[in-house]
Chain A
Amino acid sequence: MPWRLEHRAIGTGLRSCSEPPGRDSSSPEGRAPGTHEEYADSEQASFDDYRLEDARAQKSLNDQPFHQWTLPDGSPWTTFYRCGAGFLLRFPRFADFHVSEDGCDTCCIPVPGTSEEICHHLYLNQVLPLIQGRQGKLVFHASAVALGGRAIAFLGASGRGKSTLAAAFTRAGMEFLADDGMVLESTEVGYRVLPSHPSIRLRLDTQRALIGSDPEDLGGPLLAGKLRIEAGRYLSHCDEPRPLFAAFFLGEGDSKTIDAAPLQGAEAVTEWVRHTFILDFDDQAWLALHFEDVATLSETVTCYRLDYPRRFEDLDKLRAAIVGLATSKQVGA
């Protein structure tokens, strides 16, 4: 039997995130206590659980950030600093968020001119997923949709099409569970997706292609070229947890056809890690626990690497291929 030993370094998955990840988070507002007891036990931070202080200019800092998310042009979007035992998350020109060591206390100090709405957006999209991760939740840069009583997830860096796919499925009659920040909860029978904030952020061209209304009709803030569309008239949101049974890691769009391949073992683990919201990269106890979680996740959830040409007119075909893969667990879209 021919054989060869292989040993490959598969990257510093924990430090590879250079794009501003998405947002958001946890339990739907207004849930009746006791309606879903198991879910009620897992209620997390609410969507506005932070203090908003008076606006002031951002002070220059002597320390170097220990981590940074950058925009496509290389400019910093979020810089991570240690601040005493806690953390400072700086969004240059917008706001500073001070987060306590345990992630249970957060305050926002906006830069003069930054609206409360923008602060809330930053909190939902960037800060809350990090806080939830710090509190021990499994939070991924992903969107998720409900499919036949279960959930499928789309993971990828910013701009890979997560929100577009979530919106496309929703416009085809299904419901979305999460957009950008997907929170998973471990149960005795696997992992389930918790409903996030009931909104999806779409680029204007995507919004026009999938919804067709003028942005003014949809409300919501426009930030970084994306419009937040609340669930309701155009998009249906699933407000109950759903077991996760398939995950698609989105490629860069280089493929000329719909191209899917199973993702297993070490590669699957690193992909899950790569798309995790992590606040403190040096907390080894946390990293060890997280490693166990993602290893189990990669064994229990069917994973695919998926790439496809980014054409709005192909979305129906793509959606059908994804459903076929997810339900048959066969490759070959």
Chain B
Amino acid sequence: MTSDVVFDVPAHVIARQIADETVILDLETGTYFGLDPVGARIWELIAEGHTPNDIREIMVAEYDVTADTLMADLEKLLCNLQDHGLITTTEFDPNPDAEGG
């Protein structure tokens, strides 16, 4: 997982926070997924358009965890979400309003 990507949540994937968990429904398959409170926080950051680097920095600040441990778990979760088609990646554009060419 490179750090210069952002994530998109496909239109067929909807999510809802319930208490401190997040429930995700893939409408195409009718499959439900659950994220625990830490996973739910990451999902929130994903939906806000943060890059993996952003997420790492925010999570390290919020939780009592080392950067290495965090990255290992984060990579695992992001890959898992991608494997299930719950997120897709696009290249991060640091200056989206600039003219192309």
* Interface, chain A (partner B; CB < 8 A): 1, 3-15, 264-270, 273, 281, 284, 287-288, 291-292, 295, 298-299
- In the docked arrangement, what's the CA distance between A8 and B86, Å? 12
Q: Is the CB of A7 within 8 A of B12?
A: no
Q: Is the CB of B30 within 8 A of A6?
A: no
Contacts A4-B73, A269-B18, A288-B14 given: A9-B30 contact, CB under 8 Å? no
Q: Is the CB of B19 within 8 A of A265?
A: yes
> B92 at interface (Cβ–Cβ under 8 A)?
no
- In the docked arrangement, what's the CA distance between A237 and B4, Å? 63
Least CB separation from A287: chain B residue: B27
Total chain B interface residues with beta-carbon distance under 8 A: 33
Q: Which of A14, A267, A284, A292 is in CB contact (< 8 Å) with B34?
A: A267
Q: Is the CB of B31 within 8 A of A9?
A: yes
Counting residue pairs across A and B whose Cβ atoms lie within 8 Å, the total is: 96
Q: Is the CB of A299 within 8 A of B18?
A: yes
Q: Is the CB of A15 within 8 A of B30?
A: yes
Q: Is the CB of B30 within 8 A of A5?
A: no
Which among A5, A268, A284, A295 has the highest number of chain B CB atoms within 10 Å?
A5
Q: Is the CB of A5 within 8 A of B18?
A: no
Q: CB-CB < 8 A to A295: which residues of B?
A: 16, 18, 23
Q: CB-CB < 8 A to A292: which residues of B?
A: 16
17 contacts between A and B (CB under 8 A): A3-B65, A5-B36, A5-B74, A6-B34, A6-B35, A6-B36, A7-B34, A10-B34, A265-B20, A265-B21, A265-B23, A268-B18, A269-B23, A270-B23, A270-B32, A288-B25, A291-B25
B80 to chain A, nearest CB (A): 5
A302 to chain B, nearest CB (A): 13
Q: Which of B12, B20, B33 is in CB contact (< 8 Å) with A8?
A: B33
A68 to chain B, nearest CB (A): 15
- The residues in B between 17 and 65 inclusive whose CB is less than 8 angstroms from any CB of A are 18-23, 25, 27-36, 38-39, 42, 63-65
Q: CB-CB < 8 A to A281: which residues of B?
A: 30
Q: Which of A4, A7, A11, A284 is in CB contact (< 8 Å) with B80?
A: A7
Q: Is the CB of B27 within 8 A of A264?
A: no
